[in-house]
Each structure stands twice: as C-alpha cells, then as structure tokens.
Amino acid sequence: MPIPFPFSAVVAQEEMKRSLLMAAIDPSIGGVLVFGDRGTGKSTAIRGLAALLPKMRAADCTYHCDPEASDDYLCEECRTKKAKGTNIKGHQVQVPVVDLPLGATEDRVIGALDLERALTKGEKAFEPGLLARAHRGFLYIDEVNLLEDHLVDSLLDVAASGQNLVEREGLSVRHPARFVLVGSGNPEEGELRPQLQDRFGLSVEVKTPTDLPTRMKVVRLRDEFERDPNAFVEKWKNKDAKVSRQIQKAKKLLPEVEVPDRTLEETAKLCIKLGTDGLRGELTVIRSARALAALQGDKTVTVDHVKTIAVSALRHRLRRDPLDESGSTSRVERAIKELFGE
C-alpha cells in the first residue's frame, strides 16, 4: 500500500483542509466535494486525512457496527445478538477510507451473490461491496463528476437512507451504510448531477497557486517526499500527530457546543438573502460552524464561525441567476459582506 503524503505537509488550500477536518469531526455535515485544477493536492489531502483519524470501537462483524448503536444502525447479525441478550463484543479499528474507482461494477459497489459459496456449497450468501466496507468511515470518489449514472443512483439511495438494500438472485439483504462521502474532480471534464451535488455538505474550489514562494514550496516538499517517503513522513509525524489530537479533542467537545438564537437567526437571514432551496443550507451551515467551533476549542458558535464556513456550505446550493454573471462564490461573499459587514 503506497505511503500517503502527510496531511500537515499540504501547502495552502486552507479551505479544503478545514472542510475535510470538519467532516471528520461531524460526519452529519454530509461530506466534502473538492473541485478544481489538476495537480492541486485534492486526492493527496484526502488520502492524508485517513492517517489522522482516531480509531473507533467496532463489533466483530462484517460491517464493523458500533456495539452501542441502536437497532437501526446495526446489521442483522448484531441485531440478532442484541435481541438474544448476547453481549456484542468490540475492538478498536482504524476508521475505513474506501476508494470507489470509476470502472467499478454495480455488484462491486453495492454487493452481490457470493458465487464461490453458491457453486461449491450450494448456499446463497451475500458478498458485501464497497458501501459495506465504507460504513462508519469515508467513501472517496476521484473524478466523481465522471461516475456512471447507475452508480450515482445507488449512492443517492444509500446516502438518503443510510441503508443499503440488495435484492439479487433470490437474495434480499439490508445492511447499514453510513459514511462521509468525499468527491474530487475537475469541472472542465463534466458537470456533477445536481441530485448528487446536493448530497455533499461542503463544496470547495481549489486553484493552482499563483505566487512564486508557494509554488516553490509545493514542488520542494513533493520532490522531497518522492525521493524518500519514509524519511519525509517521519519528519512530519509530530505535526500530523498534533492535528490528530485536535480532531479527537474536537469530537469530544462537539456535543457541548451551543448555537445561540442570534447565530441561527443570522444564518437564516443569509440563506434567505441568497435564495437557497429548502433548509439543508441552514442545517449544513450550523453543523459546520459547530464543528469549526469545536476544532478551535470554543463552546459557543458565533457569527464569525458562520462567516468562515458559509461559502463552503452554500456555494453549490445557489440557483443560477441569468442576470448575475458573477460566480456562486462571489455571490455568497457579497451577501456575507452586506449582512455582516467586513
């Protein structure tokens, strides 16, 4: 398995790194969509995040269920044990980060009949797919805008319900599949389906650095990593460990973080001004602002937290305005300035 580039060594791209950290702290935010130029560290940062995630307690089952979860979040095996009063044993495992390749078949993604057991033993058994492996972790899709429509449909169903239902060859299996969806891509290669885009909590735009010192630093660090990956990772392990501790502290603090009525009111005003559809925009802004507050060690969400994350949470939720040629990022920034000032 290739050694990932250290997350803390990723230069610039602060919005992307902040968004990934917030999604790691609070998975209910709904994932991160990273769109931008090729070679700007999109997949590098996402893969580097995996090494920072604290371990989680998981049951001894195929789907690494949470032993403390309610029945709705357990697989059939764990539900049966719980119903019989059997103690669900657990152990510490790394949070899964699963890649969904563009060429993956539907059977590989959602699961299918275990052909080997069917042929050798005559038994109908389920072979879990990538969605099962990603449960309670991250599902990463590079070039997400090029994903085939039938796979997008499957992802939309699972993202909405948190359950994966597979009915194949006389099999009917339902299992939990709750994960943070992370996608990256280049908008020049095709647009993302609106239904899938709406499922991402945060949307980040990354651009090639234009200042000379930043470009030099990126090239120098990447070259150093490729010449001796092990030595480079060792050099950055303390900084990565510091970020990992920040994530753990923030996850513990998150339930204590409060959202005052004034912050909620200002968030609603911003969404009304921008004309966002539905209330998913407000929910995402509040959840993201709460995660940012926890990351910064604050117990109260302020308007400053909202201002920091509003562009990421709302830029992909705006209707196209034929009378306004400015991009969605500029429209959100303008609305923030008009409502909250500098």
CB 296 within 8 Å of CB 304: no
Q: Cα(129)–Cα(166) distance, rounded to whole angstroms?
A: 10
> Among residues 18, 280, 315, 334, which one is catalytic?
280
Helix, strand, coil % (nearest 5) of the chain? 50, 15, 35
Hey, what are 224's tokens?
């150093």
Give catalytic status of residue 215 as yes or no: no
Q: Cα(150)–Cα(35) distance, rounded to whole angstroms?
A: 22
Instruction: Kindly list the distances between the CA atom of residue 130 and the CA atoms of 61, 112, 235, in Å, as whole numbers in the listed order.
Output: 15, 11, 33
Structure letter (DSSP) for residue 63: T
Taking each helix axis as running N to C, give the angle between helix 261-274 and helix 280-295, from 0 to 180 degrees, rounded to the nearest 10. 130
The residues near 69 (Cβ < 8 Å, ≥ 6 apart) are none
What are the catalytic residues?
Answer: 280
